[in-house]
A and B are shown apart, each in its own frame.
Chain A
Amino acid sequence: MRSHTEIIVIKLKVLLVTLSMSLLLSSCTSTVDISGHFPSPVIDRLPYSIGVIFNKEFSDYRYIEKGEKRKKWEISVGDAQVEMLNVVLKAMFLNMEIKSNFQNTSGNTLDLFFQPNLESFQYNVPYETKGNMFEVWLKYNMKVYDSQGQIIADWVLTAYGKTPSEFFQSEEAALNDAMVIALRDLGAGLSLKFTQVPEINKWLKMQEKSSESSIEIVKNNFVNQIVLGI
């Protein structure tokens, strides 16, 4: 017959082994829900209304690592990329609305529709890089349609972010930081180069809604050419 103390010691040992096992098992997959702060860009607004279509695939985008030689990661990018684009597009256009399709609602005519698509997501963790860094590459396919739903422009926009690994920082936090930097890079590329996409530039030149519009477009192009040297 075991004493009460012996039973408690056995229970504690079982608890310790269970805790160790659960710790080991939970460390098998790293889950990250990307979140960060996305500031509004300092740019001149284009005098147009735009409808933005975030399809389900885009807004729920979740990367699941399937490589056998890599650590298991589940990275949710959808919410963060939608949040970033909401902030950037609101600053780029006079009016921005989230739409589910290319239908113009009565009484509120939209000039353009914008549909982003994340085509490729890649990352590296420190043991895979020479420089002990977390790196993220994003490749987007951006599409812009006119008010009738006819395609105007279709181009590829890439973004990159990196962050060094730090002593007391978790891998998840470091990858989140690299991802936020990449999304900020995407916002910079979109807001500063939008009017330089040849098809969009051509469409903008064709629009002569009002003299005020023309002045705004010229001003926006001037900023890109002067500041970026493009």
Chain B
Amino acid sequence: MENKTMIFNAVFIAMLCFLSGCTSVTVDQVKHQKSELSLGDSIVVIGRRTGSDYETEADLISCIGSALSQTNTALNVIPENDFVDRLYPWFEARTAPIHVRDLNRLLSYEKISKIIDDYQVQYIVWVDGNTERTRSSGSISCGLSPTGGACFGFGTWDTKSEYEATIWDYKSRQLVGKVSSVADGTSYMPAIVIPIPIIAPVQRHACKTMANQLNEFFTIN
């Protein structure tokens, strides 16, 4: 009998560990012209950080880059940090080109154009947006005593990820298209002695769908 209870508890805890909140994702795409990549060409994914009340997360940019490389091994994705550091201070929040026409001005400086040429960059992908908690409710109380600690209660919160990627053709200095990804999800945290987070991986889903969409966006020759 005791064994059965222990097995039931173990299965229950294991199930809770694998549970995650639900997420829905909407993807949209606009393509103005062909977006072809030849062997050896690279793309760079950079976060746009000009928003006054939000910041495009660095880990989201890195997630998109990794997901793109994993989905398509022929695609050469330059890590954001490498690119931005190598071209410091021209791609910082306050100095980065805002419009595609600003690239012409930037590239009139020989040192910059040489570095970008060395990277063999064909497309620059600017990702703008963020993930934020839109609603939260419930409460959890925790207590600590010399005999131990315990929590009790229930909490829930909604999260929304909204990102838009703008793709520039570095060689033709033109706007190629835009891809957007909007994800919503609800997370739960019941607490009976210990809090058990059931997190909706909203940002991760937004990242993966954005990467898949970008992967379809480019045609590799």
- A residues near B (Cβ < 8 Å) are 13, 16-17, 20, 37, 39-44, 130-133, 160, 162-164, 166, 181, 184-185, 187-189, 191-192, 223, 226-229
Contacts and interface: CB of A to CB of B under 8 A. Distances in A.
A229 to B, nearest CB: 7
A37 B85 contact: yes
A205 B111 CA distance: 24
B85 A17 contact: no
Residue of A20, A37, A40, A164 most packed against chain B (CB within 10 A) = A164
A12 to B, nearest CB: 9
A21 B137 CA distance: 30
A151 to B, nearest CB: 26
A226 B108 contact: yes
Given A164-B130, A227-B109, A42 B90 contact: yes
A122 to B, nearest CB: 16
B105 interface: yes
Contacts of B59: 166
Contacts of A162: 55
A13 B55 CA distance: 45
10 contacts: A13-B146, A40-B88, A42-B87, A42-B115, A132-B132, A188-B88, A188-B89, A223-B109, A227-B109, A229-B105
Nearest to B106: A227
Contact of B94 (A132, A164, A185, A191): A185
Contacts of B53: 130-131
Contacts, number: 70
B115 A228 contact: no
A42 B153 CA distance: 55
B95 interface: yes
A227 B90 contact: yes
A211 to B, nearest CB: 21
B85 A39 contact: yes
B41 interface: no
Contact of A187 (B57, B89, B106): B89
Nearest to B132: A132
A42 B114 CA distance: 11
B31 interface: no
Residue of B86, B87, B90 most packed against chain A (CB within 10 A) = B90
- Nearest first, the 10 closest Cβ-Cβ pairs linking A and B are A188-B89, A39-B85, A131-B53, A39-B88, A13-B146, A164-B55, A188-B92, A41-B89, A42-B111, A131-B54
Contacts of A131: 53-55, 132
Given A42-B115, A166-B59, A192 B109 contact: no
B174 to A, nearest CB: 20
A30 B221 CA distance: 54
B63 to A, nearest CB: 13
B93 interface: yes
Contacts of B92: 184-185, 188
Nearest to A169: B59
A147 to B, nearest CB: 28
Interface in B76-123: 85-90, 92-95, 105-106, 108-109, 111-112, 115
B1 interface: no
B55 A133 contact: yes
A187 B93 CA distance: 12
B14 interface: no
Nearest to A225: B105
A162 B105 CA distance: 27
B39 interface: no
